[in-house]
A and B are shown apart, each in its own frame.
Chain A
Amino acid sequence: MTCFNIHLGIVTRFDLITNEDPRLWYTIKTYSPTDLEAVMKAGVAVEQEMERDSRMGFFLICKPEILLACMLYMSQAPPPSAFGAFESIKPVAVAVPEHMGSQLEFAKGYTMESGVK
Chain B
Amino acid sequence: MGSVNTPVLSERLLAILDALPASVPKDVTSRFRQTVNSAANILDAPQYEHDGTAVDLACNASKTLFGDLVITPDSPSYKSAQQVNWSMACWLPARCIIKLQNTVEVALALGIINHFKCPFAVRSAGHQGNPGFGSIGKDGVLLDLGSMNSVNLSDDRRVASLEPGATWKKVYEVLENENLNVPGGRISEVGVGGLILGGMCTKYQGYICRRLTFVSQGACLTSQHTGAWFAITWRALRYSR
Contact = CB atoms under 8 A, between A and B. Distances in A.
B189 A15 contact: no
B158 A102 contact: no
B203 A13 contact: no
Given A1-B214, A1-B236, A7 B120 contact: yes
Contact of A11 (B206, B212, B240): B212
B204 A54 contact: yes
Interface in B185-225: 185-189, 192-193, 196-197, 202-206, 208-217, 220-221
Interface in A1-34: 1, 3, 6-22, 24
A6 B233 CA distance: 11
B64 interface: no
Interface residues of A, number: 43
A13 B161 contact: yes
A15 B103 CA distance: 15
B179 interface: yes
Nearest to A117: B86
Contact of B211 (A15, A55, A102, A107): A15
Interface stretch (A37-45, A56-64, A83-91, A92-100): A56-64
Given A11-B212, A15-B161, A18-B175, A59 B168 contact: no
B78 to A, nearest CB: 21
B8 interface: no
A1 B233 CA distance: 9
B233 A8 contact: yes
Given A12-B163, A15-B209, A110-B186, A103 B172 contact: yes
19 contacts: A1-B236, A10-B216, A11-B164, A11-B196, A12-B215, A13-B103, A14-B196, A14-B213, A15-B159, A15-B212, A16-B160, A16-B162, A19-B180, A54-B205, A59-B186, A103-B176, A106-B186, A108-B169, A111-B188
Interface of A: 1, 3, 6-22, 24, 50-51, 53-59, 70, 72, 74, 102-104, 106-108, 110-111, 114, 116-117
Interface of B: 86, 102-103, 106, 110, 120, 122, 143, 145, 148, 153, 157-164, 168-169, 172-173, 175-176, 179-189, 192-193, 196-197, 202-206, 208-217, 220-221, 232-233, 236-237, 239-240
Given A10-B110, A15-B209, A51-B205, 13 more contacts: A3-B236, A9-B236, A10-B164, A11-B214, A12-B106, A13-B161, A13-B162, A16-B182, A16-B209, A16-B210, A102-B176, A110-B186, A111-B188
